[in-house]
Structure 1
């Protein structure tokens, strides 16, 4: 039986690695390995009879958001059109799987022969850093491959805006943004192997630049500012200097695209503002229940004053407005509550851990990813992008890797007594 258990642990670790690698190349294979890993994790919990060890941080706000989304689907102007959104309610399962699978692998390392779980291993910061480092290695290696192909399309095939491995430059750009922030957090706050991370960061940032995804550029700058501020306010001075040097080195076409970020005279900026005006008008029609998910094409004819903009766009290029229109303001507030609770948990951990804590980079990874995500949501419907949310939920789980010998005070909210000063 122990032999079978060890094989299952190794298989779950392999599924987790392949899940992260295929995220940048095939979302279907990524989801298959994620589903297999989740099943193996549940089987191991049953085998070890460790139900009480399962944690659900952010459980209540995620549950409230899911229930309100379900109600919005039932009350939709076209329930059949809104039903496909149900599969998106499963995406937070990635977060809960990683939150529980990684500490389990820390307790039961697949590369070591153990006779059973060793609780004290899961409470060591070094073990958490090691597992986080391995996950970041697989994410970074796969991202390097995707960035390399992006650069090949840009400079060898001479594509103006390369579509990359996922055939979507916006999705790839936002993925590069998240990985860049995770690698920067490691480079700034980890204790070793930082030089290799910095070397790998260069082509990923280059891939982000050639993707021409302006929302990802803005999110990256905000996330970097957060990381540098946490490192020390003097480090913030590095950011504007680096940005000016990068801007000076860019070709004229890229410079022109950067300039459109700060001006409302750009055509795309004008269209976004018009979309937001349309969203505000629609939100006032059904502020409580919304119109339902994926119903814009069905109701846009009722608003001829916005016909000129609805002809070209199916959504509002703003996640906050989109949620309010699709599912109502209560659902939007429940979604914001997820990020409020996550921010509160992160703040508790930052206050509890010493600044020199070896696992502090895990907190910074999750914090910078969440902040950059919320910023990009001003410009794009990022939560409706499966590849992006999959990587986002994976990185959000990083701060929860470190376990303690004590029982957590609230396995649902995520509040727990961690290593204090």
Structure 2
């Protein structure tokens, strides 16, 4: 049983890392990782139900929203056609999967082992929580770094489109996404993560400043006012 738990923990960690990276490039891969990770989490929760306490914050709003959605489908003019949209309710599992995975002591230990292997590399050094020989990287900062790294690459992809194809109201940059609005929305969220890190964690982190500049430049070139307003209000 312990071996199966160890395998599930490592699989969860791998899927979570791919999920974090793919979120900046592909919605389809992100969804696949989300559902796969949710399944792994539920499988592990079943094996360890006697020793692991699960966290279910916001379950009441989620339950109320799900009930309202089901009632809306049942009372729709065409329930069968509306029924297919209920599959999006399963995306709530992703929220609880990520939350409980990061709170899992086994996964945190596995993640820390991975972090320790790369602790002396440049990317890891940028997200140290303490200084000195015994400095370590927290799981939270590790995933912040992973998100910002992927977002920087995504922003660079969008900027290269300007160099290749130019920019106009009829041809806006979209990165690896099919439409510029999705690209702008992703950039808006990750730029807010970078801005929050600089405001509340480390204002002198040059790497995060560089990532933020790249994201804001790409966001500006999407010519998407809603995303601009979203970042400004955030």
TM-score exceeds 0.5? yes
- The residue aligned with 2:40 is 40
**Cα separation, partners in 2 of 1:204 and 1:191, compared to 1, 3 Å:** closer
Structure 2 gap segments, 5+ residues each: 114-128, 131-136
Residues 102 and 108 of structure 2 are in contact (CA less than 8 Å); yes or no, is this contact kept in structure 1? no
Write the distance in 1 (CA, Å) between the matches of 2:105 and 2:98.
Answer: 10
* Whole-angstrom distance in 2 between the partners of 1:192 and 1:203: 17
Could you list the runs of 4 or more consecutive aligned residues of structure 1 that deviate by over 3 angstroms after TM superposition?
A: 1-4, 105-108
Q: Distance in 2 between matches of 1:102 and 1:178?
A: 20
2:182 paired with 1:171:
yes
Deviates more, 1:97-106 or 1:49-58: 49-58
1:75 aligns with 2:68: no
- Residues 198 and 105 of structure 1: CA distance in aligned 2, closer, same or farther (over 3 Å): farther
Pairing of 1:131-150 with structure 2 (within 5 A): 131-150=139-158
Paired residue for 1:63? Answer: 63
Instruction: Tell me if the contact between 2:151 and 2:190 (Cα under 8 Å) persists in the aligned partners.
Output: yes
Structure 2 residue aligned with 1:355: none
For these two proteins, the number of residue pairs brought into alignment is 210
Alignment partner, residue 220 of structure 1: 231
Contact 2:55 2:99 (C-alpha < 8 Å) held by counterparts? yes
User: Taking structure 2 as the reference length, what is the TM-score of the superposition?
Assistant: 0.81
Residue 205 of structure 2 is matched in structure 1 by 194
Q: Which residue of 1 aligns with 2:122?
A: none
| Distance in 1 between residues matched to 2:66 and 2:47, nearest whole Å | 30
2: CA distance between counterparts of 1:199 and 1:157?
A: 24
Partner Cα separation in structure 2 for residue 111 and residue 19 of structure 1: 15
Distance 1:47 1:193 in 2: 44
Task: Report 1:42-121 matches (<5 A).
Answer: 42-50=42-50, 53-105=53-105, 108-111=108-111
TM-score where L is the length of structure 1: 0.46
Quote how far apart the aligned CAs of 1:132 are: 1.6
RMSD of aligned Cα (Å): 2.4
C-alpha spacing 1:57/1:79, structure 2 compared with 1 (3 Å): same
Q: CA deviation at 1:65?
A: 0.9
Q: Does 1:23 align with 2:23?
A: yes
- Alpha-carbon distance between aligned partners in 1 of 2:175 and 2:226, rounded to the nearest angstrom: 17
Is the contact between residue 106 and residue 131 of structure 1 (CA under 8 Å) also seen in structure 2?
Answer: no
SS class of match (2:55): coil
Distance 2:76 2:85 in 1: 12
1:130 and 2:138 are equivalent in the alignment: yes
State the alpha-carbon separation in 2 of the partners of residues 63 and 45 from structure 1.
20
- 8 Å CA contact 1:15–1:37 kept in 2: the answer is yes
Q: What is the deviation of 1:193?
A: 7.5
Query: Counterparts in 2 of 1:400-411, with a 5 A limit?
Result: none
CA 1:165/1:188 → structure 2, altered by over 3 Å: closer, same or farther?
same
Distance across 1 between alignment mates of 2:141 and 2:111: 15
Partner Cα separation in structure 1 for residue 181 and residue 31 of structure 2: 20
Q: Hey, what does 2:121 align to over in structure 1?
A: none
Q: Spell out the pairing of 1:8-407 with structure 2 (5 A cutoff).
A: 8-50=8-50, 53-105=53-105, 108-111=108-111, 130-160=138-168, 161-191=172-202, 194-223=205-234
Structure-2 separation of matches of 1:144 and 1:112 = 24
TM-aligned CA distance change 1:51 to 1:85, over 3 Å:
farther
Q: For residues 193 and 156 of structure 2, what CA distance do their matches in structure 1 show?
A: 18
> What do the CA deviations read for 1:129-170 (whole angstroms, capped 9, x no partner)?
812212222221221122111111123321421232111111
Q: Relative to structure 1, is the Cα distance of residues 193 and 88 closer, same or farther in structure 2, using a 3 angstrom cutoff?
A: farther
Contact 2:156 2:214 in 1 (8 A): yes
Which fold has the larger relative contact order, with Cα–Cα distance below 8 Å and residues 6 or more apart in sequence?
1
The Cα of 1:51 is off from its aligned counterpart by 7.0
On the 8 A contact 2:37/2:94 being kept in 1, the answer is: no
Q: Distance in 2 between matches of 1:139 and 1:39?
A: 23
SS at match of 1:14: helix
